[in-house]
Structure 1
Amino acid sequence: MLYLSITHPSLRLTAPALKKLQTHCDFLLKSSTFIFPQAPQRKVTMSGVIVQNMSFKPGQTLTVTGVPNPDSTNFAINIGNSPEELALHLNPRFSAHGDNHTVVCNSYQGGSWCQEHRPDGFPFNQGEEFKIWITFTHDEFKITLPDNSEIHFPNRPGAEKYNYMLFEGGVRIHSIEIK
Structure 2
Amino acid sequence: MNQLEIRNVEMKVGDTVKIKGKISDEADRFAVNLGSDADHIGLHFQPRFHDCDDGAVIVCNSKCAGCWDSEQREHDFPFNKGDKFKMSITFKGDVFAIKLPNDSVIEFPNRLSLETVTFVSVDGDFKLVSFGCR
Band of TM-score, shorter chain: over 0.9
Q: Does 1:131 align with 2:81?
A: no
Q: Does 1:109 align with 2:68?
A: no
Could you state the TM-score of these two structures normalised by the residue count of structure 1? 0.71
Quick one: which of 88, 106, 110 aligns to 1:151?
Answer: 106
Could you state the TM-score of these two structures normalised by the residue count of structure 2? 0.94
1:20-35 equivalences in 2 (<5 Å)? none
Quick one: which of 2, 20, 34 aligns to 1:65?
Answer: 20
Larger radius of gyration, structure 1 or 2?
1
How many pairs were matched up?
A: 134
Quick one: which of 85, 94, 99 aligns to 2:40?
Answer: 85
More helix by share: 1
Q: Which has the higher contact order (CA 8 A, sep 6+)?
A: 2
Q: Which portions of structure 1, spanning 4 or more consecutive aligned residues, are displaced by more than 3 angstroms?
A: 96-99
- For 1:103, the aligned partner's letter is I
Say which SS state the counterpart of residue 159 (structure 1) adopts: coil
How far 1:120 sits from its partner (Å)? 2.7
Provide, for residues 114-160 of structure 1, a one-character-per-residue CA deviation record: whole Å limited to 9, x for no partner. Answer: 11111231000011011111110110001110001110100111111
- For 2:15, the aligned partner's letter is Q
The separation in 2 between residues aligned to 1:104 and 1:90, in whole angstroms, is 6
How far 1:110 sits from its partner (Å)? 2.3
User: How much identity, in percent, do the aligned residues show?
Assistant: 35
Consecutive unaligned residues of structure 2, counting only runs of 5 or more, are none
Q: Which residue number corresponds to residue 18 of structure 1?
A: none
How far 1:111 sits from its partner (Å)? 2.3
The separation in 2 between residues aligned to 1:81 and 1:160, in whole angstroms, is 10
Consecutive unaligned residues of structure 1, counting only runs of 5 or more, are 1-30, 33-47
More strand by share: 2
